[in-house]
Amino acid sequence: MSNTTPTPISEFVVAEVKYLANDESPAVYIASGGGGDATEHKGNYVSRTISIRNGRTRPGGFSLDREGFMLSSQASAVGDFYDDDAIAAVYEAEVNALVRGATGAHRVDIFDHTRRSSSVEVQKQRRIRESASIVHNDYTARSGPRRLRDHFADTPSEAEALLGQRFAIVNVWRSIRGTVQNAPLALCDASSVAPEDLVPVERQAKDRIGELQLATYNPAHRWYYFPELQADETLLFKTYDSDTAGPARFTIHTSFDDPTAGPDAPPRESIETRCLVFF
């Protein structure tokens, strides 16, 4: 019989995240291109020390329409997530089925895959982007519909028809290199975020000008993460919803330095897939 005492499961970690300090000077988000460069954040920012709760220990789990995010299990048949052909031929069908099952949507259109790493060397080697380092949400009330129109630019009448029904943008986030120990993703319960906490900001990229949301600090924010996320687990989170009556239209999120990660923890490598979801 072993006398080893099991390691207790931590209910939370304490870490720093970076918020927009105020909107006294115009903020601009200038996205990195990938390959070792870094996203530029113009504006005033402040680091806040917060408690990030362990989502695995919460009874009842999470909901896309309540908190704005959820954990799901799904093994993938993709062996190499840097293989674009495998992503198109295999992974997109897996994501489509996953999102349909989680949301009850009748249609899911995938429009983007972004690979990231917390290691600059991996970023350079793989020509991928860095982990997001600031509290943000990918879309606003204006840029969500604009993204739909851009996706259906060749069929504008279809875009207008789809805009007449409820739709959302859902991100599917997955580790592509083993267990996540370094730079995990933290997600904020959408029901704890007040509308005035969210600030629309121009997003500049090489191929488009868009708009995202940054957030100012509010002590009411309830943050969660899922420690040691496995390769057969995914995080789904909603970055836009045309339904203005629900509590979860937008989900602010960021990576953070996990204080429990050991000095030899491998760098995080992940893929996030963005989906237009129609109900």
Query: What is the pTM assigned to this prediction?
Result: 0.94
User: How does pLDDT run along the chain (279 residues), one tens digit per residue?
Assistant: 434 433 456 899 999 999 999 877 789 999 999 999 999 999 999 999 999 999 999 998 999 999 999 999 999 999 999 999 999 999 999 999 999 999 999 999 999 999 999 999 999 999 999 999 999 999 999 999 999 999 999 999 999 999 999 999 999 999 999 999 999 999 999 999 999 999 999 999 888 899 999 999 999 999 999 999 999 999 999 999 999 998 799 999 999 999 999 889 999 999 999 999 999
d(C-alpha 102, C-alpha 179), whole Å: 23
Tell me, what's the pLDDT at 277? 98
For 189-210, what is each residue's pLDDT tens digit?
999 999 999 999 999 988 889 9
Tell me, what's the pLDDT at 2? 38
Q: Looking up tokens 């870490």, which residue turns up?
A: 15
DSSP 17: E
Contacts of 238 (CB under 8 A, 6+ apart): 64, 65, 68, 69, 168, 169, 170, 171, 190, 248, 249, 250, 251
Contact of 241 with 162, CB cutoff 8 Å:
no
To the nearest 10 degrees (0 to 180), the angle between helices 156-163 and 143-151 is 140
DSSP 57: G
* Of 216, 213, 220, 219, residue with least CA distance to 251: 213
